[in-house]
Amino acid sequence: MLPSDLIGTEIFREGSFRPHFGPLFHHLVLADEINRAPAKVQSALLEAMGERQVTIGHKTYLLPELFLVMATQNPLEQEGTYPLPEAQLDRFLLYVQIDYPDVIAEHDILRLNRQEAEHLKTNPLDKAIPLSQEELFAARQQVLKVHLSQELEKYLVQLVIATRKPHTPSYSDKLNRWLQFGASPRATIALDRCARAHAWLEDRDYVSPEDIHAMVPDVLRHRLILSFDAQADGLTTNDCINELLTSVPVP
């Protein structure tokens, strides 16, 4: 059976295929509750997120230069869901855990909902300043130019290496027991870029240890695989990250 989004009336007349590009060919793709999508749908994102392209048959189509995939997972009601494989999780730059909103945010949600219900003209989005693609690309270049000293670069690499070989040198006996597999080289690249971006957002032209520490949890949270002992003890990757930051000395 042919995918419905690739079928048009002209196919039946001419006996040929004319691809109709779907929602993946946009600048921003939001996959809501991605763990409810079938495994084939999840795996289809691997090429798009890793290579920025989509292959249909024998032809490859490039995705937009400005391309971002955001996905959500509901921690409740896991029955009937499809956990993402490690190879796909590794392609996500960050894994951000979002808790319940605090009191102030809850009041803002309530007021915004009331305004929408009353059809008021005061919309916070009206005050938003739109950014062009050129401005976003320029910001990317500015982030890459943020200075990272050699000492902090070595520290950044040591943090990732310590998740793979915590016993060489002996960073932490706990990590050696808790971790089955450590982070991939994608984690090193992601931590470097995110630390620079964090410093840039703080209006600094250099990376500090605080920038690295601020991004380590979100960068490594989904890239660490716990051992059976750690899972049996009820530990999480957050516990491993806390142990990691206290075990590897800051330069």
Residue where one domain finishes, among candidates 66, 89, 112? 89
- More confident: 194 or 36: 194
Q: How many CB atoms lie within 10 A of CB 238?
A: 13
Q: CA-CA distance, 244 to 241, in Å (whole number)?
A: 5
Residue where one domain finishes, among candidates 59, 89, 119? 89
- More confident: 216 or 12: 216
> Measuring CA to CA, how many Å separate 11 from each of 4, 7, 54, 87?
12, 7, 21, 36
Residue where one domain finishes, among candidates 61, 89, 117? 89
The mean-pLDDT minimum among 17-21, 104-108, 166-170, 177-181 falls in: 166-170
**Does 16 map to a domain?**
yes
Residues 133 and 227 in one domain: yes
Is residue 168 scored above 70 in pLDDT? no
Residues 133 and 207 in one domain: yes
Is residue 2 scored above 50 in pLDDT? no
- State pLDDT tens for residues 182-214: 999 999 999 999 999 999 999 999 999 999 999
Is residue 222 scored above 60 in pLDDT? yes
**Does 166 map to a domain?**
yes
Mean per-residue pLDDT, 3-23: 58
Task: Kindly indicate the confidence band of residue 33, based on its pLDDT and cuts at 50, 70 and 90.
Answer: confident
Task: Kindly indicate the confidence band of residue 45, based on its pLDDT and cuts at 50, 70 and 90.
Answer: confident
- Full residue range of the structural domain in which residue 50 is found: 4-89
- What pLDDT does residue 124 have? 57
Is residue 174 scored above 80 in pLDDT? yes
- State pLDDT tens for residues 64-119: 889 998 988 877 776 767 788 787 888 899 999 988 999 999 999 998 888 877 76
The answer to whether the bond into 169 is cis (omega within 30° of 0) is: yes
Number of domains in the chain: 2
CATH number of the domain residue 53 falls in: 3.40.50.300
What residues contact 69, with CB distance under 8 A and at least 6 apart? 29, 31, 45, 48, 49, 92
Q: What is the DSSP string of 226-238?
A: E-HHHHHTT--HH
Closest CA to 163 of 175, 147, 150, 145: 175
